[in-house]
Amino acid sequence: MKNVRRIMCLTLCLFIFSCDDSVDETQEDVILMSKNLEQLNYIEYQDALDISNQLISESMEYLENLEYREQSESEIKNEFYNQSTVLTNLSNVLEYDTEIVPDNYNQFDIQIEISDINNSEFLNEIQKDYASNLLNAVEQNNFDELIRIKDSFKNDVVSNPELRIFNSGIALIESAQMYMNSNGDYSYTTFGDDDCLHATLVGGVMGGVYGMISGAIGGGLSGVTLGFIFTGGILSVPAGGAGAVAGATSGGFLGFLGGAILGYLGCLIFG
């Protein structure tokens, strides 16, 4: 969680040092600043979709041409990272102040349950509903349900912009769906003649969505802690919201890579 902590420290410091000590903030001022803090790390959906398209294209090409020699998952991750344009530039695109490198790929890899979502004070009710539904779909390995959630998201996000916290995972679902459709007229249950590419893509999406949710919870908890330390609790919840956004965004894209590699290796080893 080191990157999220650094991101949260930066945003909180920007907030603190931009305040005029000679002016007493009203409750409305604090609420406005809180909302501004939460907006800092949102990634636009089209940007998330562009990253997803490039990430899927690069990973499919890499794994399709991979000469498997019983390499470990970490070895494959490191090799892919060195060849990947989108991952080596991800920190700049997301405007993070620290570089996302293979050594911290697992910073959002925490185990979560529905109760963790329901107990999170930095997510509102509609965010909790979406997070729970997404997690249930992943646990059931139900790609059709993820597509249904993606379609509902497109409508709901218009009137509920806070759902943009899920832009990375939703974009991965849409990008994977488009990739499948462009490679033949068949459902997600068949992937041409190469079942391992199908396993790679579905595994990547499942890993990405799970990484997004776990990143939101982990990043949110870090944000709440830092918000309490820096502001005496005044901005704990909105700081948690900002941390959740940062964690969800990074966790989604990094989770895709881990899930894709595991899906591909599992197919090669077990068939």
- Residue appearing with tokens 């398209």: 53
- If pLDDT is split at 50, 70 and 90, which confidence band does 139 have? very high
Does a structural domain hold residue 49?
A: no
Residue 89, SS3 per DSSP: coil
The Cα 192–Cα 180 span in angstroms is: 9
DSSP class of 176: H
pLDDT surpassing 60 at residue 15:
no
What is the rounded average pLDDT of the residues 149-170?
94
Neighbours of 61 (CB within 10 A): 11
Q: Work out the average pLDDT over 123-148.
A: 94
| pLDDT value, residue 241 | 60
Place of tokens 């759902």: 163
Q: Is residue 65 part of a domain?
A: no
Identify the residue whose tokens are 């529905």.
114
Per-residue pLDDT tens digits for 34-70: 555 445 567 899 999 999 999 999 988 888 787 777 7
User: What does pLDDT average to over the chain?
Assistant: 73
Q: What residues make up the domain containing 195?
A: 105-271
Domain count, the chain: 1
In a domain, 87, yes or no: no
pLDDT of residue 14 exceeding 50: no
* Polymer length of the chain: 271
Whether the model clears a pTM of 0.85, i.e. scores above it, the answer is: no
The answer to whether position 224 is within a domain reads yes
Q: Determine, yes or no, domain membership for 177.
A: yes
Structure tokens, 226 = 């830092």
CB 241 within 8 A of CB 139: no
User: Taking Cα atoms as reference points, which of 245, 234, 172 lies closest to residue 203?
Assistant: 172
Identify the three-state secondary structure at position 119: coil
Q: Return the biggest CA–CA distance within the chain.
A: 69
- Which of the pair, 110 or 58, is modelled with greater confidence? 58
133-136, long-range: CB < 8 A, 24+ apart: 134/166, 134/169, 134/209, 134/212, 134/213, 135/209, 135/210, 135/213
In a domain, 264, yes or no: yes
> What CA dihedral angle connects 265, 247, 164 and 56, to 10 degrees?
-20
Supply the pLDDT for residue 180.
Answer: 85
Q: 173-193: per-residue pLDDT in tens?
A: 999 999 888 865 344 444 444
Burial zone of 138 (CB within 10 Å; 0-12 exposed, 13-18 middle, 19+ buried): buried
For residue 138, which phi and psi values (nearest 5 degrees)? -65, -45
Burial of 83 (0-12, 13-18, 19+ CB in 10 A): exposed
244 or 60: which leads in pLDDT? 60
Task: Specify if 179 maps to a domain.
Answer: yes
Of 12-16, 94-98, 161-165, where does mean pLDDT reach its minimum? 12-16
Residue at 69 is within a domain: no
